Amino acid sequence: MKKIIKNYVIFALIIAAVYLLLPVFLHSNESFHPFMYQFTFPATALIAGLAYSWKRGVDFTFPLIAPLIYLGSVFIFNHWYHWALYVFVYLIVGMLGCFIGDMVYKSNMEQKKKEQREKRLENDNYKITISNITVEKEEE
């Protein structure tokens, strides 16, 4: 449990930095807000989901981090404009990132298992005699 929380904290801090600190620095630039809500925040949720699932596989609770932090930013910055829609969008995008990262994770795991099997077969020396179909392991 502590390992999962430790992994979540790193990504939660990155997402919080983007969701909470970016509006502070770009608050005066009103033309950036649509870009931030429709591209920057979903891209952050997608990349975080990819990065998390790439090494650990899919986790259905991880995509909840981005919407929860976004809700915190809604309360802090009082930007109530379509907040429910954006919460749903960030949740779906985070799940999509987790599923894509999981696909990459599975293909990486299959490749590693294949390499391990090949390495084991290279390390084992077998002598095969076809007359009575016997298999003997040669001593080194």
Q: What is the mean pLDDT of residues 84-109?
A: 87
Structure tokens at 5: 């929380």
Structure tokens at 122: 């290279």
- pLDDT band of residue 21 (cuts 50, 70, 90) is confident
Q: How far is CA 138 from the centre of its chain?
A: 45
Q: pTM of whole model > 0.75?
A: no
Instruction: Tell me what pLDDT residue 27 has.
Output: 67
Q: What is the mean pLDDT of residues 80-94?
A: 85
Q: Which residues contact 136 (CB under 8 A, 6 or more apart)?
A: 126, 127, 129
Q: Which residues contact 117 (CB under 8 A, 6 or more apart)?
A: none
Does 101 score more than 80 pLDDT?
A: yes
Name which residue leads in pLDDT, 53 or 128. Answer: 53
Q: How many residues does the chain have?
A: 140
